[in-house]
Structure 1
Amino acid sequence: MNTSYASYTIEDFIADDYFIQSVKHPAPASDAFWADFLAKHPSQQENVRRARLGVEQLSVAAKHEVPFQETPAIWSQIAKELEEPPKRIVEIVLNFWKPALAAASVIIALGLGWGWYKSAPKGKYEQLISAAKSPLEEVANTTSTNLTVNMPDGSHAILKPESKLSYTKSFTGNIREVYLSGEAFFDVIKNPNKPFFVYANGLITKVLGTSFWVKAYEADKQVTVLVKTGRVSVFAQKNTQNPDPETNGLVLTPNQQVVFGKADERLTRKLIERPVILLSPQELKQFSFTNASVTDIFTALEKAYGVDIVIDEELMANCTLTTTLSNETLFEKLDIICEALEATYKVVDAQVIITSKGCN
């Protein structure tokens, strides 16, 4: 067993006998070894994942036949897609895999396998569940109504029709992981010591305990996450090569959503279409204003909806209004206030920006 895996590249893992055997013939001891290794070296997670897929493809590829002389050219193309040195990869295949798998027959299948993998959407559901390290429980909603899925830790998901959800049969270890294709509302039991991760078509949502929606149908060009309570962290799956991928993501709070474009892998934060009041009816009774400063009114709206409202306080220092926080939606309230003040507003990155000429 090699002790220098921390510095291994993808090609090194593919050529390593112990790694190959661990993938082809998993056992409790090897599973424990790799779990411990990845816990200590999280930066190697992507290399190990891709190497594992490579070994699995190589194993399947033994069933195919292809002329041996075609292998170097095909591997060179694969190498370009993997961003690894072609010469070294060809050497690995010819030297390590030829005796066991007839390397010539391996290459064309690998070319097809990796070509499909690279062109497929990142984090596709079937890929994710096939690469999962622990046994999964899958629930598919083939009905026309919502389906409640109860998970091992007491968390639950409301699964929409034509949606699938997979999760580990027992949430052991340091994290809780689920995989979604379609749409679901999650209500997650709080556990600061064991984060909850949702993998959905290239987007990862991490929470400690909260409720939120995820919409991630395979055919859609976008993945959307909407927050009802608490906070969630979202980031693109491609950033998992970063030791701290959350630094490249966004943190969402109630009444916020993120839209993730699968093609450009861009994250865009927005307000949800109809922000809801986050205060209790008793708290809302306190928000009745008579000839009050608009600064106080906007502050109350911020508290009620959890939304940042940006104004020029000096310019609007003399502006006053009489109003209450009644049954109108947030945007209806903003329309009423801005019309009274001859002001305008727009939403930028989930913030409301008020533009006004001030008041005499």
Structure 2
Amino acid sequence: MQERNNYTELEDFLADESFRRWVQTEEDLDRWEEWTLENSKRAKLVEEARLWLLAMNVPETTLSQADIQLALESTWNKIERKEIAQKGANSLVLKLWNNYWLSGAAAILFFGLVASWYFTNNTKTDTIVVTYKELVSENYEGLVEQTNNTNKSQIITLSDGSSVLLKPNSKLSYPKIFIGNERKVYLSGEGFFEISKNPQKPFFVFANEIVTRVVGTSFRIKAYSDQPNVEVLVRTGKVTVRSNELLTNLSSKRKEVVLLPNQALRFVRQGFTFNKITDITLDESLAHSVGNIEQLSFEFTDIPVTQIFKTIEQAYLVKIDFPHSKLKDCHLTTSLSDQPLPEKLKIICKSLGNNTSYEMNGNQIIITSNGCE
């Protein structure tokens, strides 16, 4: 098992029976996933090997000679563009084609690309969907994925202090620790985001065809791949929304829209249009979709702490346990409108003093306190 630490070429992985079993059956007896996430460069190589292996299962297809020739030109144009963007890609392609054992896989991959090209170029549709899976596969940071298969929203705290209220039937992929000068996460479904401010490190949410950029604000994104629209609704701050760069064939239509509080954007897949809503109260669909977290006020003036905790419970759908007898006479005046959930809790605990602290475990929050000063 230690031999894989020396793997430097795609052939090393493809010749490994354990690796093939993991990719094809998802049976991870040798902890390939954990090993992959230990190193970002390694993760990139593993992903390339995985895609080649999966390509072996592409079914054969029958195309005319003219179709094959056109597809060949299209495929090699893609390869040439990738060579410009990625160092050494050309030598990698040549090595794969010169390897006798892999020539079959390469041929099957080519015909898979041909079949994909043929379907794309011979099926008339105005609807183009960039999937969550495609977006995640473009990232090699070793992402953590959280899926909400329950009927209740789940709170996720990110390494920078930002929080995400992930709705049912939704997924979020994010790095354990944000590195570099950008923060990127990937959403499938619906989530309410509260982003920790960091002007030097903008935050990006990739959700199907759109990318939302923020510095520190709160907003909701609804991006289910099986629905006709993608929506972004801003509660506080400012966001910028643009089309995803993966839509290269529609680059001429790429747009960028700035949204302010109580404004929204509806991206319509049919026709690839961006519709900006400057007052969400005038849009019946959006007005009915606004949840507690977007309606409740977090401006408190001499309000009992018990009531503040109740407001947080209603907004985030969490359960807060705290010592009622010690905090029943405590009141606070504070503004928590533009803070992620962890920051809200920190401010409350600091205001109470007396060694007050909190602990989060999923949707359960425990407050420890000796009472207010």
Q: TM-score, normalised by structure 1?
A: 0.53
Given candidates 100, 103, 123, the residue that maps to 1:101 is 103
Contact 2:135–2:208 (CA under 8 A) maintained in structure 1: no
The amino acid across from 1:218 in the alignment is: S
How is 1:190-269 mapped onto 2 (pairs within 5 angstroms)? 190-238=197-245, 248-269=255-276
Give the 3-state SS of the residue equivalent to 2:245 in structure 1. helix
Runs (5+) with no aligned partner, structure 1: 1-17, 35-51, 283-360
State the match for 1:160 in structure 2. 167
Give the 3-state SS of the residue equivalent to 1:238 in structure 2. coil
Q: CA shift at 1:126, angstroms?
A: 1.4
Given candidates 133, 136, 146, the residue that maps to 2:143 is 136
Is 2:34 aligned against 1:31? no
Runs (5+) with no aligned partner, structure 2: 1-7, 20-35, 82-89, 283-294, 302-373
Aligned counterparts of 1:201 and 1:187: Cα–Cα separation in 2: 20
Aligned counterparts of 2:278 and 2:271: Cα–Cα separation in 1: 21
Give the 3-state SS of the residue equivalent to 1:274 in structure 2. helix
The amino acid across from 1:111 in the alignment is: V
Task: Provide closer, same or farther for how the CA distance between residues 105 and 142 of structure 1 changes in structure 2, counting only shifts above 3 A.
Answer: closer
State the match for 1:111 in structure 2. 114
Aligned counterparts of 2:191 and 2:166: Cα–Cα separation in 1: 4
Q: CA shift at 1:190, angstroms?
A: 0.5
Is 2:83 aligned against 1:76? no
Q: CA shift at 1:281, angstroms?
A: 10
Q: Deviations over 1:152-193 (max 9, x none)?
A: 111001111111111112111111111111111000000111
Aligned counterparts of 1:87 and 1:146: Cα–Cα separation in 2: 44
Pairwise CA RMSD of aligned residues?
Answer: 4.9
Larger radius of gyration: 1
Give the 3-state SS of the residue equivalent to 1:152 in structure 2. coil
Aligned residues: 242
Contact 1:202–1:237 (CA under 8 A) maintained in structure 2: yes
Give the 3-state SS of the residue equivalent to 1:251 in structure 2. strand
Task: Provide closer, same or farther for how the CA distance between residues 66 and 154 of structure 1 changes in structure 2, counting only shifts above 3 A.
Answer: same
Task: Provide closer, same or farther for how the CA distance between residues 56 and 270 of structure 1 changes in structure 2, counting only shifts above 3 A.
Answer: same
Contact 2:67–2:118 (CA under 8 A) maintained in structure 1: no
Give the 3-state SS of the residue equivalent to 1:133 in structure 2. coil
Contact 2:40–2:142 (CA under 8 A) maintained in structure 1: no
The amino acid across from 1:187 in the alignment is: E
* Structure with the larger RCO, 1 or 2 (CA within 8 Å, 6+ apart): 2
Task: Provide closer, same or farther for how the CA distance between residues 73 and 199 of structure 1 changes in structure 2, counting only shifts above 3 A.
Answer: same
Contact 2:211–2:244 (CA under 8 A) maintained in structure 1: yes
The amino acid across from 2:41 in the alignment is: D
Q: Deviations over 1:53-112 (max 9, x none)?
A: 998655543466869x97965643435666939999xxx989962643235433222334
Q: Give me the identity figure in percent.
A: 32
Q: Deviations over 1:29-76 (max 9, x none)?
A: 9939x9xxxxxxxxxxxxxxxxx9998655543466869x97965643
Bigger CA drift: 126-135 or 167-176?
126-135
Q: Deviations over 1:171-220 (max 9, x none)?
A: 11111111111111000000111111111111100001100000111111
